[in-house]
Amino acid sequence: MALKDSAQSNIIRKMGPLLGLVLLSGAMALLSDRFLDVNNLLNVARQVSINAIISVGMTMVILTGGIDLSVGSTVALAGSVTAGLLTAGQGMSTAILAGLVIGVVLGCFNGFLITRANVPPFIATLGTMTAARGFTLVYTDGRPITGMDDAFRFLGGGYIAGIPVPVVLMIIVFAAAYVVLRQTKFGRYVYAIGGNEEAARLSGIHTKKILLSVYSIAGLLAGFSGIIMASRLNSAQPTAGVSFELDAIAAVVLGGTSLSGGMGTIGGTLIGALIIGILDNGLNLLNVSSFYQQVAKGAVILLAVIVDNRRKKGA
């Protein structure tokens, strides 16, 4: 019986966010005749991609019962380093690799603090967030970096078969994460740690290794997003990515992943990111005052968490 119960509640977990997305899209389509235009949908997908890629890493982190506040600063530092190396005449692959390495290093550092120094994830990543933002300002001297080759712009502004490149990258990242979480031992361990870290450790899982990997992946994906964003704006902003961690957490939570870990899906996160993106885009199209937009976004996030809590109580 228990198995059936959990299967059923799992379906509901997935259906809830999807239903929300469908209803929201329906409302937007009714209210604005521009919303369902193919161009606009591609536009929404492109706007969502950066947050969505960050949210994949955030999903894994939250599944283990942790949190990563440093992703926004990672976006800025990785983007700045890549742009800086490009303007210094380095090759595209070197510069992009360096940005990705920065992401991994920051993530790895988070993992190290959490697993070896026993710092709670919230505090560890808060420290990294602040320090990485400082490093970004030091590296850029507080000024935007511009003057990259036009070839670099393909990453954020190009198209592959009519689909914007960031959207293609987002789909690849989600597909990979889906396979990893669903089909591999690593994925099962991530869920196991989130369910009960102590039990996972006692059953022979290298919890520290897994956690280190999860935070490294989160850093890598945040760095990747930062590089895409620098390309999209054709400039690396030292203030880029401020409060991106909150958008990512919101996408994960809206997607039905439980903040206490162990429960949630990568597909849900995609839906969550789409809900936020459609809210932003739709409220823009409808010419709703930006002040109301923030109220609406906040209300949606809060309600999603309330839904999550009620589900837990009811189950």
Q: Which residues bind other proteins (CB under 8 A)?
A: 5, 8-9, 12, 16, 19-20, 23-24, 27-28, 31-34, 37, 39-40, 43, 46-47, 50, 140-144, 146, 153, 157, 229, 232-235, 237-240, 242, 279-293, 295-296, 299-300, 303-304, 306-307, 310-311, 313-315
Closest contact distance (angstroms) between CB of 40 and other proteins is: 4
Joined together, the tokens standing for residue 192 give 């196991």
Task: Name the H helices within 143-239.
Answer: 154-157, 165-183, 185-195, 197-202, 207-233
- Taking each helix axis from N to C end, the angle separating 185-195 and 38-63, rounded to the nearest 10 degrees, works out to 70
Closest contact distance (angstroms) between CB of 184 and other proteins is: 29
Task: Give the residue carrying structure tokens 């959207």.
Answer: 167
Closest contact distance (angstroms) between CB of 142 and other proteins is: 3
Closest contact distance (angstroms) between CB of 167 and other proteins is: 13
Q: Which is nearer to other proteins, 28 or 250 (CB)?
A: 28
Q: Which is nearer to other proteins, 23 or 123 (CB)?
A: 23
Phi, psi at 37, each rounded to 5°: -55, 135
Give CA–CA dist 106/131, Å, rounded: 10
Phi and psi based region of residue 65 (left: phi greater than 0; alpha: psi -120 to 50; beta: remaining)? left
Q: Which is nearer to other proteins, 37 or 149 (CB)?
A: 37
Exposure of 117 by Cβ count < 10 A (0-12 exposed, 13-18 middle, 19+ buried)? exposed
Residue length of the chain: 315
Q: Which is nearer to other proteins, 49 or 110 (CB)?
A: 49
Give CA–CA dist 252/136, Å, rounded: 26
Q: Which is nearer to other proteins, 8 or 183 (CB)?
A: 8
Closest contact distance (angstroms) between CB of 166 and other proteins is: 12
Closest contact distance (angstroms) between CB of 4 and other proteins is: 8
Q: Which is nearer to other proteins, 108 or 157 (CB)?
A: 157
Q: CB-hemisphere CA count at 13 Å for 279?
A: 23
